[in-house]
Structure formats: structure tokens, C-alpha cells
Amino acid sequence: MIVATEGRAKLHYEEHDEVFFNPRGRLARSMGVLAARAFSKMTLNDRLVIADAFTGIGARVVRYLLEDDDRISVVHANDSSMPALEFAIRNVRLNGVAEKVKFHCLEARRFFWRSVQANLFYDIIDIDVFGTPMQFIPFAVNALKHKGAIYVTSTDTAPLCGINRRAAFRNYGAVAENFEFCHETGARIVIAAVVKAVAQQAYIARPLFTLFDGYAFRIFVAVQKGRRGFPVDKFGFVVRCPSSGRVMVFKQKHAGRFSLDCKSDLQIAGPLWIGELHDAEFLNQMLDELNEDWFSERDRSKLKKTIKLMEAEVGMPPFFHDISALSDRLNINTPRKADLINELRRRGFKAGMTHFSGLGIKTDADFDTLADIAVSVVKGGR
Ligand SMILES: C[S@@+](CC[C@H](N)C(=O)[O-])C[C@H]1O[C@@H](n2cnc3c(N)ncnc32)[C@H](O)[C@@H]1O
């Protein structure tokens, strides 16, 4: 028996083909718990009904109930694997939260459909499956309340980074590219696919936060009934000229009508989401909730650092620059990230870090200006 602790939760599990627990999912679980608190505040609803549709050993259920208990009415925990669900049942009891949990052992689409048939609709649906979540989105949307949220995971990071473009195209209907900033374009491809899949069910979705935790993309989207306001202008393409390093962003309505002076073949990713990755107010609400006593010190400091980086991404272009690749291209030493950001800001540009990469910076300066400033920072020893 393996015993793990995560925040206040104690979790028991065993190595088994069908029993899955990944300690690296901790940040994603913490963000989910915090987002549920913020969502409850945002919607003035402290009787949340949550579906953890791929519960595994029940880590999320336990954490929702230990850390959000005051805002949750019930969590429905589902998994198609009975061995996994048996651990979930055990963990829920072990942590003393069984009173508010209902268990189901169904294929997820059947679980969502059964919920609809039983007139049971959720405020938040957690979809944490291996690979692509796309086949579950239409079913999940129909099991949501009028104003709900879906917390989507995609572990397809390699296909979405252009390693298996065929799989990315099949699962998300988009072309992926192996840019240095592919984790951002990959996350944006998932958002675009989710927003479209939701719209096909006559709902409108918008991301409240987007996380790449080094392992998977995690996107928390608010979903509301309606056809109006489909954000067509927030879909586009990111195009790079490999020979010059310049990157351009085009709205989908300009597809086929853009030109880029480039001596080599262009690299293109999209259609992808070129709108905001995060809702600034929602991030703020999440930070507010962090002041509450519910979180362990370890989770609190990691969450704060991550959300601060996300805040810095709001209002920035939909890609970042890798300073190591930039300095290789310019044949200079790698500038210190803080120096480069300060110099960009001093010259009137927006600039900041990104949670996608420790080597990444975001700026509204164009590539040639950034390159000049990087050279001056390195040569001038700023
Ligand atoms: C990534 S694990 C879930 C991890 C869990 N959410 C956590 O944070 O620890 C995915 C789970 O989904 C279950 N699963 C896979 N496909 C499923 C399906 N189509 N319907 C329901 N459950 C499924 C697996 O048995 C597995 O336990």
C-alpha cells in the first residue's frame, strides 16, 4: 500500500494497471480546488454540485471536500474502473468526507447522459482523462447548469507541440508546430477546440485560467447557455518565419490574406485561441481565496507564484520568446531575464515573465526591437 499526503488529504493506493495516481498532478488539483472557491464567489453560489468524472483514487473529491467544504453541497465521483473507484471510496472514508459524496462506476459519457436523464445538473465538471478530453465535451456541456464551469485536462502535450501533428489535427482540428513556445500555442489550440465544441451545443465558453504544469494543459472555462456572442475574433493563427525569427498573429478571418516577408517556409499553428488565457478578475478572486485558512503552506506559496505569473500574461501577445533560443540566434550571451524585462519596460514596452517557461518572456515589442534590446543589454552589461 502506498500512502501519499497532499495538503490535508491522506491518500491510499496500490500499483495496479487500472489504479492511477500522479503526484505531479498536485498543482492542477490545488488550482481546481481554488478555482471552485473563486467560482462559488463569482456566481454567489455556496451550494456547488461538482462532478469529478474521472476520479481515479478520489484525490480531487477528497481535496474539494477538505478545502472547499463550506461551498460544496455534493460531489459526484465517477470512474469506469472499479479497482480505482474502490480506492476512491476508501480514501473518501479515510478523510471523513463520505457524507457529501455519491459514487458512480460508468463510462464518462454514460455518466453525463445518466445525469441529464435524472435531471441532475452540475455547477462544475472536472474532466481529467489521459490524452484528449474532446470526445467528452459535448456530453459534459449538456450536464452543466445554465451557468457552470468545466475544468479540462489535456495530456496531449507532444502532439500539441507538433511532435505528432496528425494526432493534434484529428483531436483538435488544428495544425500544431514545434515552436519554442509550443506549450502556449498548444494550450491555445485546446482552448479553441473546447470553445468551438461548447458552441456546437449552443453554449458560450470563456477561459478563466489556463495552466501548463509541465505535464498537461489544464483549462478552467466558464460555460453559459446561449448562441450569441460566439467570440469569432478570438480565433486565429500564430505564424513564424524561421529564418528571421519574426512571429505574427492573424485573426482567422484574415486567413489566406496575410503576407509575411520570409526567406524560408513559414511555420503555422492554429486555428488557436488568441484571446486572453485568463480572466484577470477571476485570478484576483483566486488570490483573495488564498488568504483563507484552507490551504497548506506549501500549496499556498506555489499557487501564489503561479497565479502571479498568470496575471503577468494578461494583455500580452499569444506567444513568448525563449531567451536562450534568442541569444543563440543573435550569437550573444543569454541576457538576465530581469535585465531584459526592465530594459524593455524602460523603453516603453510591456514585458513580463510567463508561467509556461522559466526561459520565456512576453513583450509587445516586435522581434527586431527585442533583438536590438537584448544585444544592448548583453553588450552594455545592464
Ligand atoms: C488521469 S486519471 C484521473 C486522475 C485523478 N483525477 C487525479 O487527479 O488523481 C484518469 C481516470 O479516468 C478513468 N477513465 C479513463 N477513461 C474513462 C472513461 N471513458 N470513463 C470514465 N472513466 C475513465 C481511469 O480509470 C482513470 O482512473
pLDDT in tens, the chain (382 residues): 899 999 889 999 988 878 889 999 999 999 999 999 999 999 999 899 999 999 999 999 999 999 877 899 999 999 999 999 999 999 999 999 999 999 999 999 999 999 999 999 999 999 999 999 999 999 999 999 999 999 999 999 999 999 999 999 999 999 999 999 999 999 999 999 999 999 999 999 999 999 999 999 999 999 999 989 899 999 999 999 999 999 999 998 887 777 778 999 999 999 999 999 999 999 999 999 997 777 888 889 999 999 999 999 999 999 999 999 999 999 999 999 999 999 999 999 999 999 999 999 999 999 999 999 999 999 886 5
Distance from residue 80's CA to the centre of ligand 1 (Å): 7
129 ligand 1 Cβ < 6 A: yes
CATH, domain range 2-231+271-311: 3.40.50.150
Give how far the C-alpha of residue 212 lies from the chain's centroid of Cα atoms, to the nearest Å: 6
Rounded to two decimals, what is the model's pTM? Answer: 0.96
pLDDT per residue over 293-328, tens digit each? 778 888 899 999 999 999 999 999 999 999 999 999
* CB proximity list for 93: less than 8 A, separation 6 or greater: none
User: Given this model, what pLDDT does residue 381 score?
Assistant: 60
**Position in ligand 1 atom list of the atom nearest CA 59:** 9
The residues spanned by each domain of the chain are 2-231+271-311, 320-380
User: Given this model, what pLDDT does residue 380 score?
Assistant: 81
User: Given this model, what pLDDT does residue 252 score?
Assistant: 86
User: Which among 85, 37, 87 is positioned nearest to 65, based on CA atoms?
Assistant: 37
User: Given this model, what pLDDT does residue 129 score?
Assistant: 96
Q: Whose CA is nearest to atom 1 of ligand 1?
A: 129
**Position in ligand 1 atom list of the atom nearest CA 54:** 12
* CB proximity list for 215: less than 8 A, separation 6 or greater: 22, 24, 25, 155, 157
Q: In what order do the strands lie in the sheet with 357-363?
A: 321-322, 357-363, 351-354
User: Given this model, what pLDDT does residue 253 score?
Assistant: 82
16 ligand 1 Cβ < 6 A: no
For residues 130-156, one letter each, b for 16 or more C-beta atoms within 10 angstroms of the residue's C-beta and e for the rest, the string is: eebbbebbebbbebbbeebbbbbbbbb
User: Which among 133, 195, 117, 6 is positioned nearest to 125, based on CA atoms?
Assistant: 133
Cis bond before residue 271 (omega within 30° of 0) = yes
Ligand 1, pocket-test mutation among 20, 30, 54, most atoms within 8 A of CB: 54
Distance from residue 55's CA to the centre of ligand 1 (Å): 6
13 ligand 1 Cβ < 6 A: no
User: Hey, which residues does 268 pair with through a beta bridge?
Assistant: 239
Distance from residue 282's CA to the centre of ligand 1 (Å): 27
Is 320-380 in the same CATH topology as 2-231+271-311?
no
Instruction: For residues 282 and 36, give the distance between their C-alpha atoms in angstroms, rounded to a whole number.
Output: 11
Distance from residue 140's CA to the centre of ligand 1 (Å): 15
Instruction: Give the CA distances from residue 195 to residues 146, 172, 261, 294, 316, in Å, rounded to whole numbers and listed in that order.
Output: 16, 11, 32, 32, 20
**Position in ligand 1 atom list of the atom nearest CA 21:** 9
**Position in ligand 1 atom list of the atom nearest CA 29:** 8
DSSP 8-class letter at 257:
S
Ligand 1, pocket-test mutation among 80, 95, 111, most atoms within 8 A of CB: 80
Ligand 1, pocket-test mutation among 109, 112, 124, 129, most atoms within 8 A of CB: 129
CB distance 202 to 226 below 8 Å: yes
Q: Whose CA is nearest to atom 25 of ligand 1?
A: 81
Length reported for the chain: 382
Distance linking the first and last C-alpha atoms of the chain: 55
20 ligand 1 Cβ < 6 A: yes
Helices (H), the chain: 26-42, 59-67, 82-94, 108-117, 137-142, 157-160, 165-172, 182-199, 280-290, 297-313, 323-330, 337-346, 367-380
Q: If 0-12 CB within 10 Å is exposed, 13-18 middle and 19+ buried, where does residue 96 land?
A: exposed
Distance from residue 66's CA to the centre of ligand 1 (Å): 21
216 ligand 1 Cβ < 6 A: no
User: Given this model, what pLDDT does residue 259 score?
Assistant: 74
282 ligand 1 Cβ < 6 A: no
Q: Which H or E run contains 348? A: none
81 ligand 1 Cβ < 6 A: yes
For 57: left if phi > 0, alpha if psi spans -120 to 50, otherwise beta; the answer is alpha
User: Given this model, what pLDDT does residue 254 score?
Assistant: 80
User: Given this model, what pLDDT does residue 72 score?
Assistant: 95
Q: Whose CA is nearest to atom 15 of ligand 1?
A: 129
33 ligand 1 Cβ < 6 A: no
Q: If 0-12 CB within 10 Å is exposed, 13-18 middle and 19+ buried, where does residue 323 land?
A: buried
140 ligand 1 Cβ < 6 A: no
Distance from residue 82's CA to the centre of ligand 1 (Å): 11
CB distance 174 to 159 below 8 Å: no
Looking at CATH, the fold of the domain delimited by 320-380 is given as Phenylalanyl-tRNA Synthetase; Chain B, domain 1 (3.30.56)
User: Which among 312, 307, 230, 215 is positioned nearest to 273, based on CA atoms?
Assistant: 230
Instruction: For residues 359 and 357, give the distance between their C-alpha atoms in angstroms, rounded to a whole number.
Output: 5
